[in-house]
Structure formats: C-alpha cells, structure tokens
C-alpha cells in the first residue's frame, strides 16, 4: 500500500479504483486489481 499526499493521481491508475473514507483516512481500493491500494492521512 502506498501512502501518498495526492490521492487523485492514484485514482486514475485503473478504471476500477474507488476512493473510500474509513476511520478519518482516505483509501484507494480496487476489487479487481488489488495492487492499486493507497492511503492518505
């Protein structure tokens, strides 16, 4: 999982990426290609 300042660039890596808020943190998750994970905050 990458920890990044900008989530918007990571969301565009794959068309199935979703931005999700969990416990005050922003996560990028991808159900079909699980390597595209990121966290902000």
Q: How many CA atoms lie within 13 A of 32 on its CB side?
A: 6
* Per-domain residue ranges of the chain: 2-40
Confidence of residue 27 (pLDDT cuts 50, 70, 90): very high
Beta bridge partners, 18, equal 29
Give me the mean pLDDT over the 13-39 stretch: 94
Which of 15, 18, 41, 13 is CA-nearest to residue 29? 18
Alpha carbons 8 and 36: distance in angstroms, whole number: 13
Beta bridge partners, 14, equal none
pTM for this model (two decimals): 0.81
Confidence of residue 20 (pLDDT cuts 50, 70, 90): very high
Residue 41 has pLDDT above 90, yes or no: no
């Amino acid at each position: 999982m990458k920890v990044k300042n900008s989530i918007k660039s990571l969301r565009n890596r794959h068309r199935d990426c979703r931005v999700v808020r969990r416990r005050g943190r922003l996560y990028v998750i991808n159900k079909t290609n699980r390597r595209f994970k990121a966290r902000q905050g």
